[in-house]
């Protein structure tokens, strides 16, 4: 069984810049609409099983929520949808912002589900 390995904001930022990972925001749509990490795709936890996943096989995936608590509470459920390496952003969006990394407004939104 795949587990979610912690990844810190700086490491994630570098991996996103190089295109090495898919970042999946599991917060609900209205949370994502308020702010999100540039390049993240939206896949609300409440729709995880109902939506069609468009995750590339054997591509590293990083899941995140606001603080990391939701992601950690559902790590087995999330990891079950990933064939490659799976990570969790330590501290979630709040840690990302605390590290001084940018967030995007709603118009840049992409969805990973129907």
Average pLDDT score over residue span 31-35: 92
Q: Does the domain at residues 4-108 carry the CATH identifier 3.40.250.10?
A: yes
Determine the pLDDT at residue 106: 56
Determine the pLDDT at residue 1: 46
- Whether 65 sits among the annotated catalytic residues: the reply is yes
Where are the chain's structural domains? 4-108
pLDDT for 57-106, tens place per residue?
Answer: 667 899 999 999 999 999 888 888 887 789 999 999 999 999 999 998 75
Question: Which residue is catalytic, options 41, 45, 65, 86?
Answer: 65
In sequence order, which residues have a C-beta less than 8 Å from that of residue 89 and are 6 or more positions away? 7, 9, 12, 23, 62, 63, 64, 68, 71, 95, 96
Interatomic CA distance for residues 11 and 22, integer angstroms: 13
pLDDT for 52-69, tens place per residue?
Answer: 556 666 678 999 999 999
């Amino acid at each position: 069984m795949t587990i979610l390995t912690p990844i810190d904001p700086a490491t994630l930022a570098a991996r996103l810049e190089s295109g090495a990972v898919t970042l999946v925001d599991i917060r609900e749509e209205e949370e994502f609409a308020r702010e999100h990490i540039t390049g993240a795709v939206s896949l609300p936890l409440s729709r995880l099983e109902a939506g069609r996943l468009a995750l590339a096989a054997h591509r590293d995936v990083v899941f995140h929520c606001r603080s990391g608590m939701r992601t950690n509470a559902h790590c087995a459920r999330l990891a079950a949808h990933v064939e490659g390496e799976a990570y969790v952003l330590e501290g979630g969006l709040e840690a990302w912002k605390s590290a001084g990394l940018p967030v995007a407004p709603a118009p840049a939104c992409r969805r990973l589900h129907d």
